[in-house]
Amino acid sequence: MTSAAAVDLTVQIGALRLRNPILAASGTFGYGLEFAHLVDLNRLGGFVTKGLSREPMEGAPAPRLCETPSGMLNAVGLQNVGVRAFVAEKLPVLRSFDTAVVANVFGYALEDYVEVIQVLGVQFGTDPRMVADVVGAARKAAVKRPLWVKLSPLVTDIGLIARAAEGVGADALTVANTYPAMAVDFRTRKSRLGSLTGGLSGSAIKPITLRLVWEVRKAVRIPIIGLGGVETVEDVLDYVAVGASAVQVGTASFADPRVSERLVDALTTVLEPAKACTLNEIRDRFLTENG
């Protein structure tokens, strides 16, 4: 028997128990099904769908992606099939997999969030009162289903936003989204994206997001899912050290669609029973020494 069977990687996120702390991030893993021939979905802690809206959306003009040093810019424009098509066409197939499916939802008004969540059985996020309104309404619409709130990194005090979401019933917080950014070509006087600006992701953002996870950890007690530039098992453990219970993997899946599965293997090796170190210990030690 390999140590893989002996290492317990399960994590508890509110009422939800995940097989391990590695999830594929929203927008980089389609609706999961597109990756099913490449990745053993049942081995992941879970994955997060592309953002779902009330109506289908076509998204932004091409080019939508552009490489930058140590990262990339995207301006996909929230293209998606719409929540009804997701429920009718994708969800029935996804149910045959034994992995957590997290539906990422977005809207432009409070009612959008409520309707999308109701059909399923959150960039509204820069003002704590607005966050409390949206998350409070989402909480009611989600009834007893776990509700994770993904925070925008573009705020002055992320701790305030995190507390507002926790206060009205979020089960967990995902920290964080991409950072508004630009890449241009001065010769052609054009943006390198079809839209003028986009969102920066990848290893370039890891140190910035790592600090946000740390700030959120100090502000709330609910579990945190860290994401931003996770590529290696060291990245996973850095996020765990500053307070995350799990991580998501986004941009790294473009270079290697199987990276999440590889990270599960690498974690198993790093956390081998002989080394007697658990995710909780890594987090507790860091927090105790730097709290």
Ligand X SMILES: Cc1cc2nc3c(=O)[nH]c(=O)nc-3n(C[C@H](O)[C@H](O)[C@H](O)COP(=O)(O)O)c2cc1C
Q: Which residues bind ligand X (CB under 6 A)?
A: 25-28, 50-51, 74, 76, 78, 104, 150, 177-178, 201-202, 205, 227-230, 249-252
Quote the least distance from Cβ 245 to ligand X, whole Å. Answer: 17
Question: What does the DSSP assignment read for 183-249?
Answer: -EETTTTEESSSSS-EEEESGGGHHHHHHHHHHHHHH--S-EEE-SS--SHHHHHHHHHTT-SEEEE
Tell me the Ramachandran region of residue 49: left when phi exceeds 0, alpha when psi lies from -120 to 50, beta otherwise.
beta
Of the two residues 191 and 201, which places its CB atom closer to ligand X in the complex? 201
- Minimum CB separation of residue 151 from ligand X in Å reads 10
β-bridge mates for residue 191, sequence order: 184
The minimum distance between CB 282 and ligand X, in angstroms, equals 20
How near is the Cβ of 1 to ligand X at its closest, in Å?
A: 33
**In the complex with ligand X, which residue's Cβ is closer, 7 or 195?**
195
Q: N- to C-terminal Cα distance for the chain?
A: 39
Nearer Cβ to ligand X (48/279): 48
Which of 7, 209 has the CB closer to ligand X? 209
Closer residue to ligand X, CB minimum distance, 19 or 50: 50
Q: Respond yes or no on whether the N-terminal peptide bond of residue 63 is cis (omega within 30° of 0).
A: yes
Say if strands 71-74 and 198-201 run parallel, antiparallel, or are unpaired. Answer: antiparallel
Q: How far is the CB of 155 from ligand X (least distance, A)?
A: 15
Q: Which residue is nearest to ligand X (CB)?
A: 27
Six-digit token string for 264: 């599960």
